[in-house]
């Protein structure tokens, strides 16, 4: 038995093959089959329980052993912004996006915090430029220069 986040409930099916490996030998991949999917989501952990059956014809595995479970699941895709780019105002979280060299305040919803980065939900197209330094001086419509190339040149010693 193992727990799966509720967001993936519709991606797990009875009879589905999954890859498992015992923790003591992670390279020994085996195929198991999903034999039970709990109909209830735990309100605290926001997960549901899945049970899989592993054939054991060589009697290598014992009840209660721990296994690494590998599932191919598709999650939501969200923009990733540097942690320093996220700001908070009276109406919630926002970032400063640069559009045509001008600052635009963009409301966002924090989806998940990672180490040094944050997944956000908002109208932020891929490849967008966001402000991560000098935020205290930002205001709507302010002209902003992208100095990324200059900083990279300095770091490489090619001034």
Tokens 């540097």 sit at which residue? 82
Beta bridge partners of 117: 82
Q: Are 62 and 48 in contact (CB under 8 A)?
A: no
Phi-psi region of 84 (alpha: psi -120 to 50; beta: other; left: phi over 0): alpha
Q: What is the CA radius of gyration of the chain?
A: 23
Closest CA to 51 of 33, 68, 64, 63: 33
CA separation for the pair 83, 138 (Å, rounded): 17
Domains, the chain, ordered by start = 2-70 (2.40.30.170), 80-145 (2.40.420.20)
Tens digits of per-residue pLDDT, 32-56? 999 999 999 998 888 999 999 999 9
pTM of the model: 0.54
Tens digits of per-residue pLDDT, 5-16? 888 899 999 999
pLDDT for the residue numbered 158 = 66
pLDDT for the residue numbered 55 = 92
């Amino acid at each position: 038995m193992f727990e799966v986040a509720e967001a993936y409930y519709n991606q797990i099916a009875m009879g589905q093959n999954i890859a498992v490996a015992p923790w003591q030998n992670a390279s020994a991949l085996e195929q198991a089959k999903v034999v039970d999917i709990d109909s209830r989501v735990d309100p605290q952990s926001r997960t549901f329980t899945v049970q899989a059956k592993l054939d054991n014809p060589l009697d290598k595995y014992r009840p209660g052993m721990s296994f690494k479970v590998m599932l191919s699941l598709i999650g939501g895709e969200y923009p990733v912004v540097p942690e320093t780019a996220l700001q908070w105002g009276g109406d919630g979280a926002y970032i400063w996006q640069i559009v045509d060299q001008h600052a635009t305040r963009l409301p966002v919803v924090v989806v998940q915090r990672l180490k040094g980065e944050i997944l956000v939900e908002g109208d932020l197209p891929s490849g967008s430029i966001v402000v991560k330094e000098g935020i205290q001086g930002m205001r709507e419509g302010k002209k902003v220069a992208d100095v990324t190339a200059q900083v990279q040149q300095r770091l490489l010693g090619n001034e």
